[in-house]
Structure 1
Amino acid sequence: MRRRSTLKNLLVAGLAIGLQAAFAQTAYPAKPVTLVVPGPPAGITDQLARLIAHKLGEQLGQQVIVDNKPGAGGNLAAETVAKAAPDGYTLLMGTQGTQATNQYLYKALRFDPDKDFVPVHTLISIPNILVVRADRPYRTVKDLVDAAAQQPGKLTASSAGNGTGTHLASEQFQTVAGVKFVHVPYKGSAPSIQDLLAGLIDLSFDYPASTLAQVQAGKLRALAVTGTSRLPALPQVPTIAEAGYPQAESTSWIGLLFPARTPAPVVERMQTEVARALQDPAVVEAIGRMGGVPLALGGARFGAFVHGERARWKATIERSGATVD
C-alpha cells in the first residue's frame, strides 16, 4: 500500500509539473513585457530594441515596452534586471559590456553577470570599421601599421569611451600588430568621429552606424572591417584577417537575458519567439542597415559564447590597463 501511495504521489507530482509547463507555454505572457535597454533613445542598442520589441509584441500578442536606462556602461540597466522578479516580464538587452567586459573594467558591480541572469538568445553581431580621414596617406592597414611603427606613440586613436567596444577593438589590434596608438576617449561615437573628420585624430575603430555614411560620402577611408566577413555595404573593404591580422578580429554583440530563476518554460517560449523574429526578412534587412548581422545563439549556446568572450576580453583589458573607475 505504501508503494502504491508513493507511486501515486509521484504520478500526481509529475502531472502537476507537466500541466504547469503546458500552462506556462500557453498562458505566457499574460501582460506586457518590459525590455530594459542599457542606452539612451536613438542609439543603435535602442534602435535594435524597438525593432525586436515590435516584432516580439506581434508574435506574443502582448506589448513589449522599451525602458531606456543608460549609465555606467550599461550597469544600471543590468542591475535593474538582475533584481527584478524572475517571472518572465522583465528582459535585459544585454551587451558585450554588461555581460562580458564591465566586470574587468569596473572595480565593483552590484550584480553578477554570470549568476544573476539566464541567457535567452543573441540578436546581433556588429563589427568595427578601421577608418582614417580620406585625405590621409594610409590606403591599407599595412600602411597604417608601418607609419605607427616608424612613429611609436604618435598616432592617435579615438574611441566612444574607455572600455567600449570601439576602444577594446583598437587595443586588440595594437596587441596583434605590435604597434602603439595614443588612446583618446570621447563620450560617444559622434564626437569621436567629428574630431576624426576635423583632422584632430588619426584613426578610429568605430561601428558602421557611426562611420558608414562618412565612408560612402568619401570623407573617411575604410581600411578594414573587424568582423569575419565583409560588409555588404562596403564589399571592396577587406576584413582585418584579409588585411593580414586574423587575430585582431572582433565584434560587439547584443542579446536578451532574463533574471536568474525565471521558469524554464518561459525562457524556452521567449527563445522560440526570438529565433522566429530573427528569421523575418524585414528584421534581417533592418539589422543589416545597422551594420550588423543576426546572431542566432539560443540558451546554452549563448551562455557558452559569453564565457568565451569573457576569457578573451579579460586578457585584452589586462594587457591594455583599461579601466573606467
Structure 2
Amino acid sequence: MTMQRNSDAVRAPDSTDLADASAPTQKGTLARARWGGPVRSILIVTGLLFAVSGLVAPQTLSPTSLLSMVPFAAVLAIAAAGQTLVIQQRGLDLSVPGNISLAAVTLGVFHARNGTSLAVTLGVVAAVAVVVGLANGLLVAKLAITPLISTLAVNALLLGALQAYSGGSPATAPPALSEFVSTKFLGQQVVVWVALLVVVVLAVLARKTVAGRRFVAVGANPSAARAAGVAVNRYVVGAYVVGSLCMALAGVLLAGYLKTTATTVGDPYLLPVIAAVIIGGTPLTGGRGSVVASAVAALFLSQLGQLVLTLGAPSSIQILIQAVAIAVAAVLRGIGDGGARVPWLRRVRGT
C-alpha cells in the first residue's frame, strides 16, 4: 500500500493534469477569441507604428536607419525572451542591468587578461550567467524571498563585482566576436539572426515539448502542478537560469556590436525589457505568455524610441512613453480578459 501511494505521488502529469492546471476560464477563452492572441495583437500594433512612422518621419524607415535600429531591437528581444520565462513563473528579474553589463565587460576583460580563445571566454561568461541564475532562482524558490528583493540584491552584487573586477574601465570585445556580430547574412547582421533563433527555439520548446507544457502548468497553477507530481522548484529555478543566460547572451552580442562597452552598458535595459514582456501580453500573474510576442514588442519599442528621438523629443520623453505603453497594455489586457482585472470596467458593465 505504501509503495502504491508513493508511485501516485511522483507520477508524471498526463495531458488532463496539464490542462486542468493551465487552462483558462471559458470567459477568458471567449475574450481571447474576440481580441486575438498576443502575437497577432502586437504584430498589428507594430505594423501601425511603422505605418505612422512612414507618414510623420519617413527617414526612420530608410535602410540606414533600420540597419542601425534592428540590432538593438534584437538584443532587447533576447533579454525580453528570458524575462518572459521568469514572469511566466510568477517571478521578476531585476538583475537585468547587472547581467548584461557583467557579460559584456567581463567578456573583454577576461579575454584581454588571459589571452584565451573566444570559445573559452564565452564558456566562462556562460558559466557565470548560470551561477547568477541559480542564485536568483534558489533565493526565490528555496528561501521564498520576494523576487523583487532577491533579484535587486543580486543586481547590486553583480554591479559591485563588475566594478571590482574591471576597475571601472571600459572593455574592448574580442575582435573575432566583433567581426562575427557585424557580419551580414541576407542583408541583416548576424545579431538579428541569433535573436530570431533564440526566440524560435524557446517558443518551440514551450509549445511542443512535455517539459514546456509542464513549465506553463507550473506558472499557471503551482499547487495543482505540485499535486500532479511536477517538481515545481526545478522549473522556477530553471526559468531564472535560462533567463540569466539570455541576458548574458544579449550582453555578449551588444559588446560585439558596440566593440567597446562601459560598466553601465546594461543600465538602459531594465525598463524596456519589462515593458516588452508586458506589452507582449505576458501577465505578471504567470502561466500564459509568448516569447514571440515579447520579441515583437521589443521591435515595437525600439522603433517607437527611434521615432520619438527623430521628432526631436528628449530621451526622457521616450521613458515616459514606455511607461504609458505599459499602462495601456495592462488596461487592454484587462479588457481582453473580459474586464476581470479592471474594476471600473466591471462596474460599467454591471458585472
Same structural fold, with TM-score higher than 0.5 when normalized by the shorter chain: no
TM-score normalised to the size of structure 2?
Answer: 0.20
Higher normalized contact order (CA 8 Å, seq sep 6+, divided by chain length): 2
TM-score normalised to the size of structure 1?
Answer: 0.21
Structure ranking higher in strand proportion: 1
In our comparison, the structure showing a higher alpha carbon Rg is 1
